[in-house]
Structure 1
């Protein structure tokens, strides 16, 4: 029988496609500087692998992708965002096409990051009586607090709940 456990990549792409998830993820990214892929990794560990996420797990995830995220993903994001308003000759039809190409490359870079994070988990799902969304919420809350360096603010908790409810 084939393994039916979704990969992190498949889980993350499906979750991110659900209504309300992208704005919640982006709000958390803007508020705390977190890496959305690490947030989705935590959600996957909780919801799919039925495992808690510790400070050690978060540190390992951050270490695994830190340079890639900083030097590749964020660099591509900066270029994509800049092309929206300038420099001259942007924005025009030509630079809009270039921006779309950069966005596709940025997404490809994020998928590589997801694959790297997925390699950290290992193992099959653990038995758990706890609801998948509750495990995902707890795991994501740990990530947000880790990146923020403080407890979650009410609006951040609401964003994490919105993502968890989409699972």
Structure 2
């Protein structure tokens, strides 16, 4: 994945999420550790593109910046989209399938806004010259998992983080 320090978080996240194996790894981490995938992608971007270490304070700042938006908008839209998959009546039918697609588009738009907000948190000193962006991204994502889960990543979570880091 080609990226330099001018690559925005939004562009990085969309490109990375489009790579094989990344969506299921992100969703597995979302389910097992309760992570906000956008914060995970923010951490990966900070490490891989900006070549900056990500610590607990960076993750706390990112979480604080988007917490209310993520809960009230992204998660609320996700809940509606998921609910439309099986009910309530008259769902699922052709009309509610169309509505579900519209809700999904709104959910994605809300996630893009969240990425843009997180992208504004790019301050900080870069790592020393020659720093390994992939290693920084892996460490940053592992920090995010630990922050959300309140514990070190499990072997399965570490494997998901490695899969994402390998796609960068």
Structures share fold, TM-score greater than 0.5:
yes
Indicate conservation of the 8 Å contact 2:53/2:127, yes or no.
no
Matches within 5 A, 1:59-138: 59-122=60-123, 126-138=127-139
Q: How far did 1:132 drift?
A: 1.6
Deviations 1:102-122 (A, max 9, x none): 000000000000000000113
Indicate conservation of the 8 Å contact 1:80/1:102, yes or no.
yes
CA root-mean-square deviation = 1.4
The residue that corresponds to 1:152 in the other structure is 153
Indicate conservation of the 8 Å contact 1:48/1:125, yes or no.
no
The residue that corresponds to 2:33 in the other structure is 32
TM-score (normalizing by structure 1): 0.95
The residue that corresponds to 2:20 in the other structure is 19
Q: How far did 1:129 drift?
A: 1.9
**Which stretches in structure 2 are left out of the alignment for 5+ residues?**
none
**Which stretches in structure 1 are left out of the alignment for 5+ residues?**
none
Taking the aligned partners of 2:5 and 2:137, their CA distance within structure 1 comes to: 19
Deviations 1:28-54 (A, max 9, x none): 000011100000000000000000101
Q: Which runs of structure 1 show a deviation greater than 6 angstroms over 4 or more consecutive aligned residues?
A: none
